[in-house]
Amino acid sequence: MRCGAQAVIDDLFAGLDGDDGRRETLAEGAMILRGFVRARAQSLLAAVGEIAATAPFRHMLTPGGLRMSVAMSNCGGLGWVSDPRGYRYSPVDPENGRQWPAMPDSFVDLARSAAAEAGFADFTPDACLLNRYAAGSRLSLHQDRDEIDRGAPIVSVSLGLPAVFLFGGLKRSDSPARILLVHGDVVVWGGPSRLRYHGVQPIKAGRCPETGDCRINLTLRKAGPPGSA
């Protein structure tokens, strides 16, 4: 049921719902909850399919005019967009001028419970960026700084093919740690880790039962001002 050699380790923890107790603190404010959504992954992926039926995955252009290798969509009151005018959050899908699909309750619930587990009480996301990685897709080192309220954490969910995540420092030149993220893992990034540089190495080609030949990452965010949503 799972991708790669992780299956043996995962089997040792199988049968436990939700948090299976494997948590790793990467740095102050950054915590991995291994397998946190494994039991709910198929219903999350069904919700991703419904969102993508309304707001299809697309390859956005960077402000420099390059086509991103990761295909993206959004749900929630705000969605992250990039085009030659810049990066920003938009309440509408620029492809059709309509509001992004609503954020499913299951996304809100998992974000709240994962954030609470990592010590961030009362997290309410108003934006969810959906990233779809095919073999070879990557995300170069960057900071997430388009959100107004930097006091709120970001909750990220990994589904499907594994990824080598790059976890850097507060300067682009800080050499990043490499962390394997697999199907069902959740990471919470907040506090002093909120503005760390991070990225994703090119995804290795593979197949898994959950998503086929891709990796899906959900990032649940509070993009709007403090006190809103």
Which x/- pattern, by CB under 6 A, does the window 129-168 give for ligand MD3? x-x-------x----x---------x-x------x-----
Minimum gap (Å) between residue 149 Cβ and ligand MD3: 13
Closest CA to 91 of 82, 81, 83: 81
Residue 218: how many other CB atoms lie within 10 Å = 24
Closest CA to 60 of 165, 157, 132, 135: 132
What backbone torsions phi and psi does residue 45 show, to the nearest 5 degrees?
A: -70, -35
Residue 9's SS3 state is helix
Minimum gap (Å) between residue 12 Cβ and ligand MD3: 25
Q: Does 200 bind ligand MD3 (CB under 6 A)?
A: yes
For 54, 99, 114, 156, 178, the CA distances from 119, given in Å and listed in that order, are: 34, 32, 9, 15, 24
Among residues 16 and 63, whose Cβ is nearest to ligand MD3?
63
Q: What is the DSSP letter of 172?
A: T
Closest CA to 118 of 33, 198, 180, 196: 33
Q: Does 144 bind Fe ion (CB under 5 A)?
A: yes
Minimum gap (Å) between residue 120 Cβ and ligand MD3: 13
Q: Does 147 bind Fe ion (CB under 5 A)?
A: no
- Count of residues of this chain found to bind ligand MD3 when the rule CB under 6 A is applied: 16
Among residues 16 and 142, whose Cβ is nearest to ligand MD3?
142
Residue ranges that bind ligand MD3, judged by CB under 6 A: 129, 131, 139, 144, 154, 156, 163, 187, 189, 193-194, 196, 198, 200, 217, 219
Residue ranges that bind Fe ion, judged by CB under 5 A: 144
